[in-house]
Amino acid sequence: ECGHEVFQEVKAKTLTPLVECQSPICKQNRSRGKLHMQLRASKFYKFQELRIQELTDQVPMGHIPRTMTVHLYEGMARSMKTGDIALLTGIFLPTPYTGFKAIKAGLLADTYLEGMHAHLMKQSYDAIPLSLSLRTRRTLSYDSLAQSLCPEIYGMEDVKKALLLLLVGGVTNQLPDGMKIRGDINVLLMGDPGVAKSQLLKWISKAAPRGVYTTGKGSTGVGLTAAVMKDSVTGEMVLEGGALVLADNGVCCIDEFDK
């Protein structure tokens, strides 16, 4: 009841709020004043914790992709979505253990990257600038566009045209009764071994602004959809997206689909 305000700085992941008032009035009266948290006077920061992983083409032969925890604050929070390919710049810092875990760990500590800048390697269709020649050109040849797909593979015009339609997509139609007909198509490539099916899929996944390439040999149904995991920050159970979730609003290429 003394009206004293105490500002407590948060320096760790967890916070134990002060309960007893530390004002000189309460100390002089030898009374234990109870503190109540005031959200209006508190200052909050935007925070996001990410886990990044090495790209498949950057992993040495026979090695497992390395992962790293990234902390983003304020304006950088929510600057990236799941499945984005980004180049991050930041400060590599340790996270020392606390409590009994610190006694057992000794000099070991977890590490994380405090993000300072993020550059998205793949732009969305809306963010890609068009040159003046493309803006003034009324029509683009369907055949020339199909031939530009994976130019190192000769021929296969029909397959390339189908993959071109997959990349471009269509318009979603909504019928009067409320039923929606999607404008995107799915393509199934079937053929003998060694006819560049996998190479075409890898090229499509790299050309699309959001593309994920996976193989059916090492994937399960959970790995393609979602898995239940425990959040390291809040401790709650969350859904970790698989290949199809990572390729939302993009292209998901599944090689060896029959496996």
Domains of the chain: 47-120 (2.40.50.140), 132-255 (3.40.50.300)
The total of other beta-carbon atoms located within 10 Å of residue 137's CB is: 10
Residues 6+ apart with CB under 8 A from 207: 149, 167
- Distance from the Cα of residue 170 to its chain's centroid: 26
pLDDT in tens, the chain (259 residues): 677 788 888 776 777 788 888 777 777 777 777 788 888 888 888 888 888 888 877 777 777 888 899 999 888 888 888 778 889 999 998 877 766 666 666 666 788 999 999 988 876 666 666 666 666 666 667 788 888 888 888 888 899 999 988 888 888 888 888 888 888 888 999 888 888 888 999 888 888 878 888 887 766 666 677 778 787 766 778 777 777 877 777 888 888 887 6
Q: pTM of this prediction?
A: 0.59
Closest CA to 69 of 85, 83, 48: 48
